[in-house]
Chains A and B, each alone.
Chain A
Amino acid sequence: MLYSPAPMHIPDGFLSIPVAIILWILSIALIAIAFRRVSSDLGEREVPVMGVLAAAIFAGQMLNFSVTGGTSGHLLGAALATILLGPWASILVLTCVVGIQALIFQDGGLVVLGANIFNMAIVGSFVAYAVVRLFQRLSGGRRWGIIGGSFAAGWASIFIAALACALELALSGTSPANIAVPAMGGIHALIGIGEGLITLGAVTLVLAARPDLLKSGQEHARATVWVWVTGGLITLVLAVLSPLASSHPDGLEWVAEQAGFLEKAREPGLSIIPDYTFPGISNEAVATILAGIVGSLLVLAVALLVAYSRRRKST
């Protein structure tokens, strides 16, 4: 029925709480800035424009094209939204999309929502913006800059967001960096091609039908130099840090442990028979069984309650 356009929505349980909290804080700060920027650009029109476009991006993620043998390319939309609306509006629109996906469709977790917003809405938009600006500069505003820029922005937004996702998993001790980074990076380097192509197709159409939109998108973005500098920095840092982390996974684990992101793995050998005592019970196995019994009783009681109230209702 529903699918993730790219396997990048982290579910709950996969990030450690400190990582999740830090990314929440970062995301909230940037969303707040985005709100200020967009409000001053759009004024009263903000609500309808952002709301309808968020719905459009959400629906647009259902668009696909077949690649080969049952696989297909999809759209995530961060690059498209950035090119057409500017980076700040894009952050808002994608935050709404990612938030709804988590809250209503369980596509990505709730406690880790800050991280998913960070990866897909913020990193995605910033990186896309940096790439688009780079191509504009290089091409001097000529057509090939727009074409090449849309493809590259689509690709990079997916690829770099995936690297961020992999690093977060590694920092949380959920997936070792030397496996997560190449795996996520590799898969999304391919998925990103689909994103780049669809973004290119969409921008081509807008260029044909409403070239004015692309121009205005570039103009009010000009004021925000630091966005594309930041986007460029994120790209560079992640692109350099990821291979580093993946070739020294112990280094990252060390950082994570120092920062308290990781529950320290207990010393091997000591934990087979833990040396704590449950009040009156001395063994984890017994505690587990006890918990199982308590749990089953709870479930049973509720089931009986439901059955009983149903009977009462039907009579």
Chain B
Amino acid sequence: MSCVVEIRDLSFTYPDGHKALDHITLDLAHGEKVALVGPNGAGKSTLLLHLNGILPRQTGEIRVSGLDVSGKNLGRVRALVGLVFQSPDDQLFSPTVFDDVAYGPIYQGLPAEEVRQRVQEALERVKMSEYSSRVSHHLSVGEKKRIAIATVLSMKPAVLVLDEPTAGLDPRARRTLIELLRELPITMIVASHDLPMVRELLPRTVVMDQGRIVADGPTATILSDPDLLARHGLEQ
């Protein structure tokens, strides 16, 4: 069991008949940091939502840490997959930062002492320790983004899943976020249009277009293939 995430032949069609995923096969090894790039509507978000069973698998197979993503495993899988949504506002719905970061551990039924400890660790990881008692509503976008990441780190996930993490950030907030992600010793898959970040942070790149994986390899190779990038609307 060397792979954290194993996806075999996964296809998905939305209720309105739109085929968003078309025979996706993808493996993520332990500690790997992978970029998922592709034009808008390629199916990146749809794929990420499958990783913890928010969208139910239609055909194919997904396993996370060896667990089949479905049925009675969903509870476990959701703790193993830290899914950070694109808009942090959707993820922060508690009165204080502490409450938000504590949601996962409390839901898991951990004892109070451990909850506090996990929250503290997670906030330290995103360099926001002193924000614990702040009100999420008033934070800046960059701060909200970091808190959103802390809300899943507190679950001690096996894989961190980020959907367009740098979208809407100013250069300084973006820089802070990149440094922070670099230091996280954890498997991650990041959907993004931010190719400079991909180059800097994620050694492997998977290109998606129209629900299919059209390229998969070392970031350096893929990003230096202008034809490939142009064909899939990613020219720099």
Task: Verify whether A and B have any Cβ pair under 8 Å.
Answer: yes
Interface, chain A (partner B; CB < 8 A):
204-205, 207-210
Other than A205-B93, A205-B94, A209-B95, give 12 A-B pairs with Cβ distance below 8 A. A204-B95, A205-B137, A207-B95, A208-B95, A208-B96, A208-B135, A208-B137, A209-B135, A209-B136, A209-B137, A209-B138, A210-B137
CB distance from B152 to the nearest CB of A (A): 21
CB distance from A222 to the nearest CB of B (A): 27
| A residues near B94, Cβ cutoff 8 Å | 205
| B residues near A204, Cβ cutoff 8 Å | 95
CB distance from A9 to the nearest CB of B (A): 27
Residues facing A in B96-141 (CB within 8 A) are 96, 135-138
Chain B minimum-CB-distance residue to A209 = B137
Please measure, in the bound complex, the distance between the C-alpha atom of A82 and the C-alpha atom of B121, giving whole angstroms.
40
Q: Is the interface of B mostly helix, strand, loop or mixed?
A: loop
Interface string of B149-172 (1 = CB under 8 A from A): 000000000000000000000000
Please measure, in the bound complex, the distance between the C-alpha atom of A204 and the C-alpha atom of B135, giving whole angstroms.
11
CB distance from B144 to the nearest CB of A (A): 13
CB distance from A197 to the nearest CB of B (A): 15
| B residues near A205, Cβ cutoff 8 Å | 93-95, 137
| A residues near B136, Cβ cutoff 8 Å | 209
Q: How many A-B residue pairs have CB under 8 A?
A: 16
Please measure, in the bound complex, the distance between the C-alpha atom of A210 and the C-alpha atom of B93, giving whole angstroms.
14
Chain A minimum-CB-distance residue to B93 = A205
CB distance from B181 to the nearest CB of A (A): 28
5 A-B pairs within 8 Å (CB atoms) are namely: A204-B95, A205-B93, A205-B94, A205-B137, A208-B95
Chain B minimum-CB-distance residue to A201 = B95
Please measure, in the bound complex, the distance between the C-alpha atom of A171 and the C-alpha atom of B93, giving whole angstroms.
44
The 9 A-B pairs of least Cβ separation, nearest first, read A208-B95, A209-B137, A205-B95, A209-B135, A208-B135, A204-B95, A208-B96, A209-B138, A209-B95
**Max chain A C-beta neighbours (<10 A), residue from B93, B95, B96, B138:** B95
Please measure, in the bound complex, the distance between the C-alpha atom of A207 and the C-alpha atom of B94, giving whole angstroms.
12
| B residues near A207, Cβ cutoff 8 Å | 95
| A residues near B95, Cβ cutoff 8 Å | 204-205, 207-209
Please measure, in the bound complex, the distance between the C-alpha atom of A207 and the C-alpha atom of B95, giving whole angstroms.
8
Please measure, in the bound complex, the distance between the C-alpha atom of A83 and the C-alpha atom of B138, giving whole angstroms.
22
Interface string of B81-96 (1 = CB under 8 A from A): 0000000000001111
| A residues near B93, Cβ cutoff 8 Å | 205
CB distance from B143 to the nearest CB of A (A): 14
Please measure, in the bound complex, the distance between the C-alpha atom of A205 and the C-alpha atom of B97, giving whole angstroms.
11
| A residues near B96, Cβ cutoff 8 Å | 208
Please measure, in the bound complex, the distance between the C-alpha atom of A209 and the C-alpha atom of B144, giving whole angstroms.
14
Please measure, in the bound complex, the distance between the C-alpha atom of A170 and the C-alpha atom of B136, giving whole angstroms.
48
| A residues near B137, Cβ cutoff 8 Å | 205, 208-210
CB distance from A56 to the nearest CB of B (A): 14
CB distance from B62 to the nearest CB of A (A): 25
| B residues near A210, Cβ cutoff 8 Å | 137
| B residues near A208, Cβ cutoff 8 Å | 95-96, 135, 137
CB distance from A151 to the nearest CB of B (A): 16
Please measure, in the bound complex, the distance between the C-alpha atom of A40 and the C-alpha atom of B137, giving whole angstroms.
30
Please measure, in the bound complex, the distance between the C-alpha atom of A210 and the C-alpha atom of B137, giving whole angstroms.
9
Chain A minimum-CB-distance residue to B95 = A208
CB distance from A58 to the nearest CB of B (A): 18
Chain A minimum-CB-distance residue to B134 = A208
CB distance from B222 to the nearest CB of A (A): 41
Please measure, in the bound complex, the distance between the C-alpha atom of A204 and the C-alpha atom of B94, giving whole angstroms.
9
Please measure, in the bound complex, the distance between the C-alpha atom of A209 and the C-alpha atom of B89, giving whole angstroms.
14
Chain A minimum-CB-distance residue to B133 = A208
| A residues near B138, Cβ cutoff 8 Å | 209
Please measure, in the bound complex, the distance between the C-alpha atom of A62 and the C-alpha atom of B228, giving whole angstroms.
44
Please measure, in the bound complex, the distance between the C-alpha atom of A210 and the C-alpha atom of B94, giving whole angstroms.
13
| B residues near A209, Cβ cutoff 8 Å | 95, 135-138
| A residues near B135, Cβ cutoff 8 Å | 208-209
CB distance from A302 to the nearest CB of B (A): 31
Please measure, in the bound complex, the distance between the C-alpha atom of A209 and the C-alpha atom of B97, giving whole angstroms.
11
Please measure, in the bound complex, the distance between the C-alpha atom of A207 and the C-alpha atom of B93, giving whole angstroms.
14
**Max chain B C-beta neighbours (<10 A), residue from A204, A208, A210:** A208
